[in-house]
Each structure stands twice: as structure tokens, then as C-alpha cells.
Amino acid sequence: MTASLDEIAYKMCADGKGLLAADESSSTIKKRFDAIGVESTFENRRDYREMLFRSDEAMRNYISGVILYDETIRQNAKDGTPLVKLIEAAGSIPGIKVDLGAKPQAGAPGETITEGLDGLGERFKEYYELGARFAKWRAVIDIGTHIPSYTSILANAQALARYAALAQAANIVPIVEPEVLMDGDHDIDRCYEVTEWVLKEVFQQLFYARIRLEGMVLKPNMVVPGKKSPKQVSVEEVAEKTIRCLKNCVPSAVPGIAFLSGGQSDEEATAHLDAMVRIGGYPWPMTFSYGRALQAAPQKAWSGKAENVAAGQAAFTHRARMNSLAALGQWSVEIEQKKAA
């Protein structure tokens, strides 16, 4: 069992490949569709995701795995082919988001706890049968005047560890995602401080839960200032502080780190990843697990019209290629600007 977990985890972080986070909840994808004037129907969601999964060049060359939502892992393409089979046919690994979202945490005003542990073992058995070979659980940590509290960090770290144990017991690789949000007006040093605290607690709880580190993938935030901070910083500073923080917290046994984009623009997320890879000196492969930063451009190009599928696929392929280059430390603004080629 452990060999296959390890093998899948390493394949998820293969050189020059990353993860497509296509696991938006129904409410989140509705907001994205509203922004492009498309009604969020079952068929439109299917057609949009089918467009991505049939983007052959992107899926085969740049995407190692796709994180799905419960609706999507059960959906068939327009011709009746299960969407999971499209992903597998492209040589990519299907995965599944299993948490039920962040809810207000009792006893911790202004903070949240991620729910979804009840019945998760049984759900994992079904998801495995449906084709999922990895899973994702997101813990959300906000920064504010009096938060985060240890109460919230501990509860979320324990939930991540319990989820990871259930995943590995079902022969499914857990993506462990503790996200320190970039909302707020905090500076980069405050983000560093909180991210370090969160990661150290998460790995402590993973140890207590007897998680096999070689059979998991970490999906952390980058160390960045809050969006409202008057003190924004260079790409190089983000890269240096993120690597320093991770080296202080993440055991070398972890097979890979797949960053979330966390509200950064498409190009910012790509530039930060590229800068980190260029610095080097760390023990794990670094890659991407982006949602909006991979999908905003194809969503806009597609805009719900069948005649725009090719344009949507071209936009997706470009973003996937740019992030593949970043994961290899080979991206540049000049290459970015040749996208129409």
C-alpha cells in the first residue's frame, strides 16, 4: 500500500507538472460564471470542465493531477464519457476535495474550523471506486488584530491530521492544505510568523496521527503581505521568505510542495513560483496547485459559447505552460508576453 501512495505523491509533483484545482464548490463557480455572464447550470459546469480536461496539450504536458468537486467526479462528458476517464486518458491523476468548507469556530470569534470528518472514511471508499487517487482538505487561517489564536490553529491542524490518516487508510494520497489568507493589512513578516506557527503545528499533529510523510503532498500559501498592506514587497523577497519559512518547518521526507495561488494574479503566482525555484537549496520539488490562477483566462475566453472552446483551451494551455516553466525555473516576462504565438 505505501509504495503506491508514495508513487502517486511523487507523480503529482513531477518535474514541470502541477495540479489543476477544479474543485470549486457550486457557490464559488457561480460567482466565477456570474463574472463572465454565464448561468451556472449543471450542463454549463460540465461543458466548461470538459473543455479543460480535453485540452490535450495542457493536460498531457503540464498537468499531473486534477482536484475535482463531488459533482464533477460523478459527471459524464457530453458524449457520455466519465470526466474522470478524460483525465486518466491524458495521463493525469484524478483527485477529490473532501472537506465541507470552513465554518465559524465556537469559542474562537472571527475564526473558522473546516468541517467534513464525519463519515469521511466511507466517503473515501466511494471516491476511490469513482477513480480518485488523491484528496484535498483546506484549513483556513486568517490574520487580524487578535487572531489567529492557538485554539483555532490547533483545531485545524488536528482536523488536517485526522483527514490525512483517513485518506492514507483508504490508499488515497492526502493533500494537506493549511492556508494563511492574504486578506488584511498585515505585512510580510506577520505572514511569515503565522505561517511558521501553522506549519509547525500541522506537522506536529501529522506526526501524532502517524501520517506517512512520503505519501502526502503539502499545499501551503506563499509568504506574502496582506492585500491591503501599505508595505508591498518584491517578487524576490516573497521567494526568499517563503523558502526560509518552509525550510524551517517542512520535513525533507515530504515528496513535494504544490503552492496555492491564494488570490494572487495569474502572473504574480507564476513569477513567485519561478523565483523560488531559481533560488534552489531546498529538498522537495516545488510546483503549483492553482485554481483561479489557471482558470481565469480560459473562463473569460470561453464565456459559455461553444464556438469559443478552442480559444478557452488555448488560454488554459498558455497558463499551464507558463506555470510549468516556472516550476522548472525557466519562466520570464518575455516568454509570458509571447502568448499569442
Question: In terms of Cα–Cα distance, which of 96, 120, 127 is closest to 21?
Answer: 96
User: Catalytic one among 24, 50, 111, 177?
Assistant: 177
Q: Give the DSSP letter string of 195-222.
A: HHHHHHHHHHHHHHTT--GGG-EE-PPP
Phi and psi angles of residue 104, each rounded to the nearest 5 degrees, phi first = -55, 135
User: Catalytic one among 97, 219, 241, 336?
Assistant: 219
- Could you confirm whether 122 is annotated as catalytic? no
Residue 340 CB burial class (10 angstroms; 0-12, 13-18, ≥19):
exposed
Label residues 299-308 b or e (16+ Cβ within 10 Å = b): bebbebeeeb
> Is the N-terminal amide bond of 148 cis, ω within 30° of 0?
yes
Whether 164 and 120 have beta carbons less than 8 Å apart is answered as no
Q: Are strands 173-180 and 217-218 parallel, antiparallel or unpaired?
A: parallel
- Could you confirm whether 228 is annotated as catalytic? no
Residues forming the active site:
177, 219
